[in-house]
């Protein structure tokens, strides 16, 4: 509207406002209906995502139980020269985790010889340290430092409680 409204009297201005509000009412009702329809569809989408996540986690747990996924300890001892990011890691409960400190760009394993520590960014380096007698963890704190993706929550867990599966292009 490019009309100069300064010359319109107060009653005319109120009438125009009422007219615009009357014309808006059906559009607002239609918009509310569309928003409700969108919310129902988004709820169904989230339900399906949760169901798929639950099923994927159950499949990982079943693969762990049948022994088709190696534990992190077995992977390190196996001397596979792959990058740590070539695998997806899960706790024995099925939850996905990352290795090392939260916020780090690359996953890493920390090893100790009892006095000093060293980081391995790939399985070849991890196998070299393991073969040299180094243990996973830091002095006085054995285990693998893991964190949950998207969080700052971290903890130390035994290497036998973390399982690895090859990363697929969709993982």
Distances (CA, A) of 130 to 26, 133, 142, 155: 71, 5, 13, 21
Residue 1 in any domain: the answer is: no
Other CB atoms within 10 A of residue 100 CB: 21
Say if residue 91 is in the same domain as residue 151.
yes
**Is residue 134, in this structure, part of any structural domain at all?**
yes
pTM over 0.75: no
**Is residue 138 a contact partner of residue 110, using CB atoms and an 8 Å limit?**
yes
pLDDT tens for residues 133-161? 999 988 888 999 999 888 888 899 998 99
What are the CA-CA distances from residue 102 to residues 16, 18, 72, 105 (Å)? 59, 57, 19, 9
Neighbours of 114 (CB within 10 A): 11
128 and 92 share one domain:
yes
Give which of 80, 159, 82, 94 is closest to 121, Cα–Cα: 82
Q: How many domains does the chain have?
A: 2
Task: State whether 36 and 91 are in the same domain.
Answer: no
Residues 88 and 111 in one domain: yes
* Nearest C-alpha neighbor of 135 from the set 114, 121, 108: 114
* Contact (Cβ atoms closer than 8 angstroms) between residue 76 and residue 130: yes
140: left (phi over 0), alpha (psi -120 to 50) or beta: left
Examine residue 3 and state whether it is found in any structural domain, yes or no. Answer: no
Full domain range(s) for residue 90? 72-166
Shared domain check, 129 and 82: yes
Closest by alpha carbon to 112, among 147, 156, 165, 164?
Answer: 156
> Quick one: 62 and 132 in the same domain?
no
Residue 171 has pLDDT above 60, yes or no: no
Do residues 25 and 89 share a domain? no
Among the residues of 67-110, which ranges form H helices? 72-77
The arithmetic mean of pLDDT across residues 71-92, rounded, is 83
Kindly report, residue by residue over 29-63, the tens digit of the pLDDT: 999 999 999 999 999 999 999 999 899 888 888 88
Question: Could you tell me if residue 135 is inside a domain?
Answer: yes
Report percent pLDDT > 70 for the chain: 96
């Amino acid at each position: 509207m490019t009309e100069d409204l300064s010359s319109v009297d107060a009653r005319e201005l109120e009438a125009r406002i009422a007219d615009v509000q009357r014309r808006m009412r059906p559009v607002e009702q239609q918009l509310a209906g569309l928003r409700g329809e969108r919310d129902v569809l988004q709820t169904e989408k989230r339900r399906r995502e949760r169901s798929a996540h639950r099923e994927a986690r159950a499949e990982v747990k079943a693969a762990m139980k049948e022994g088709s996924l190696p534990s992190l300890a077995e992977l390190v001892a196996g001397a596979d020269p792959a990058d740590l990011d070539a695998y997806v890691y899960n706790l024995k409960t099925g939850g996905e985790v990352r290795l090392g400190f939260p916020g780090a760009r690359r996953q890493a394993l920390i090893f100790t010889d009892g006095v000093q520590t060293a980081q391995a960014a790939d399985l070849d380096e991890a196998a070299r340290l393991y073969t040299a007698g180094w243990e996973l963890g830091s002095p006085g704190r054995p285990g693998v430092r893991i964190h949950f993706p998207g969080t700052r929550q971290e903890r130390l867990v035994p290497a036998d409680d973390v399982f690895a599966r090859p990363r697929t292009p969709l993982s």
